[in-house]
Every structure is written in structure tokens, then in C-alpha cells.
Amino acid sequence: MAHGIIGSHHHSILASRVGMVAHVLFLTTAVLMLVWLLHYRGGVNIQSEDPEQIFNVHPFVMSWGFILLIGEAILAYSTIPSHIVEHRTQKMAHMLIHLVGLILGIFGVYAAFKYHDAAVAPDLTSLHSWLGITAIALFGLQWLFGFVTFWLPGAHVDTRTAAVPAHVMAGLAIFMLAVCAAQTGLVEKSAAAASTAEMKLINVTGIFILLYGVTVASAVALRKAFL
């Protein structure tokens, strides 16, 4: 019994440390994305007459506001210690950060459609767009499911307990789908980069997004497997 408690505590600490690595990757990815968009692509402006600056809103919002925020919301239960705050506070942070990510993700999709209108380009013709729209739609449904099941008072405790594994699994799957969508989008931009330096920066950014996704999923797996 004591060995089990010690083992569980050890893996809880390990999950927290993996979560800390994810936070570092969050900051690194955010900076790399900013350098790319500001230094190589001329900035971010949804109201610009330049279609490229309108487009730049899309990767900026989808990386900072959707993928990275979703990851931080997933890590909320590890980032906000249960011995300091109540579980309900953790749950509220998880839900609200996800909601902000969803809103920004929808805005990012809007920016992509606005860019296509300005550039007179067809919509939803690439694998990237299909994966991205699917991720946004599934994430919206996942958030509604979580809100109704875990936040509203109507759901029975047994129902909530039974729904947790499916909610966690679906959340991670959708998160990794969003990471995959980001990779396909970055591949498109890397192939069209104006210079070798820009191409390498895009590729490195993609690697850090992937590492972020893996560390977030690993932190959750460690925390859940050894509770």
C-alpha cells in the first residue's frame, strides 16, 4: 500500500515536471511564430488591404489562441495544484481557457476565409483546411459536452465519473488533430518560403508545436495513469 502511494506521488511529480517542459515549449513556440510573422511576413493586420497581412492573422491566432491555449487548458489540473485551490477552481480555469481558445480559433478560421476573399482564392481545398475545420467543429462539440456534463448542476455524479475517461481521451485526440492541422499548414508555407532562412524557421516552429503537443499529452497520461 505504501509502495503504491509513493509510486503515485513519484509519477505525479514527474507529470508536473513534464508539464513545466510544456510551458517552456509554449513560450518558445509563441516567440518563434511571432518572429516568423513579424520579421519574414510583414506583420499581422486583419484590416489590412494586403491579403498576406490578413492571412498572417490566421497562423498567429490559431497557434497562440487555439493550439497553445488548448494545451494550457488541458494542463490546468497540473498547473493549478489541488492542495492550493478547490477542484471547482481548476475546472473553471480549464473550461474558461478552453472557451477563449475556441473563440480565437473561430476568429482564426474567419481570418482564413477573409484572406481567401481578398486574394480571390477558393475555400476549403487543402488537407490543412479540412483538418482545421474538423478540429474546430469537434472542439466546439467537446466543449459543449464538457460544459453540460461537468459544469451544469443537472448531471448525476455517476454520469460525470463515467464520462471522464471519454472526455479526456476525446480532448487529447482533438488537440492532436489541431496539432496535425498546424503541421500541414506550416508545410504549405515552408514550401512557398521566400528564403532558406524562413523555410528553416517555419520547420523549427513546426517541430516545437509537435513537441508541445507530445509533452501535453504525456503530462496528462502520467497524471491519469497513476492517480
Question: Taking the domains of the chain in order of start, what are their residue ranges?
Answer: 10-225
Query: What distances in angstroms separate CA 1 from CA 7, 8, 12, 225, one per listed residue?
Result: 10, 11, 17, 17
Question: Contacts for 133-141 with beta carbons within 8 Å, 24 or more apart?
Answer: 133/109, 134/177, 134/181, 135/174, 135/177, 135/178, 135/181, 136/66, 136/102, 136/105, 136/106, 136/109, 138/170, 138/174, 138/177, 139/70, 139/98, 139/101, 139/102, 139/105, 139/174, 139/178, 140/102
CA pair distance 128, 184, nearest whole angstrom: 5
CA atoms in the 13 A half-sphere facing the CB of 100:
14
First to last CA, the chain: 14
Give the mean model confidence (pLDDT) for residues 133-150. 96
pLDDT for 78: 74
161-209: per-residue pLDDT in tens?
999 999 999 999 999 999 999 999 999 999 999 999 999 999 999 999 9
pLDDT at 225 > cutoff 50: yes
C-alpha cell at 221: 497520461
pLDDT at 4 > cutoff 50: no
Q: Distance between alpha carbon 79 and the CA centroid of its chain, in Å?
A: 16
pLDDT at 115 > cutoff 60: yes
Give the pLDDT band (50/70/90) at residue 155.
Answer: confident
Give the pLDDT band (50/70/90) at residue 50.
Answer: very high
Q: Average pLDDT, whole number, for the chain?
A: 90
70-112: per-residue pLDDT in tens?
999 999 887 766 656 777 888 899 999 999 999 999 999 999 9
pLDDT at 44 > cutoff 50: yes
pTM: 0.90
Residue 17 in 3-state DSSP?
A: helix
Fold of 10-225: Four Helix Bundle (Hemerythrin (Met), subunit A) (1.20.120)
Report yes or no: 164 and 216 within 8 Å, Cβ to Cβ.
no
Secondary structure (DSSP) of 52-119? HHHHHHHHHIIIIIIIIHHHHHHTHHHHS-TTTS-HHHHHHHHHHHHHHHHHHHHHHHHHHHHHHHHH
